[in-house]
Amino acid sequence: MTNSNFILKVTDAKLKDIQKALQNAGINVRSIIEVFREEEKSEEDKKESQ
């Protein structure tokens, strides 16, 4: 058996949603770790920074 590590970048998914989707696809999930969370700027914040 081979263990693989992947990094996902998502915009609107929760950890449990990702785990369920992978398991529903027949993928055995050993662990999921959130490495970094980046808050997206609102349109107003984007205009102010210009």
Q: What integer pLDDT is reported at residue 17 of this predicted model?
A: 93
pLDDT at 50 over 80: no
pTM above 0.85, yes or no: no
Give 32-49 pLDDT, tens digit per residue: 998 888 887 777 766 677
- CA angle 26/28/34 to nearest 5° reads 120
pLDDT digits (tens, 9 = 90+) for 7-24: 988 888 899 999 999 999
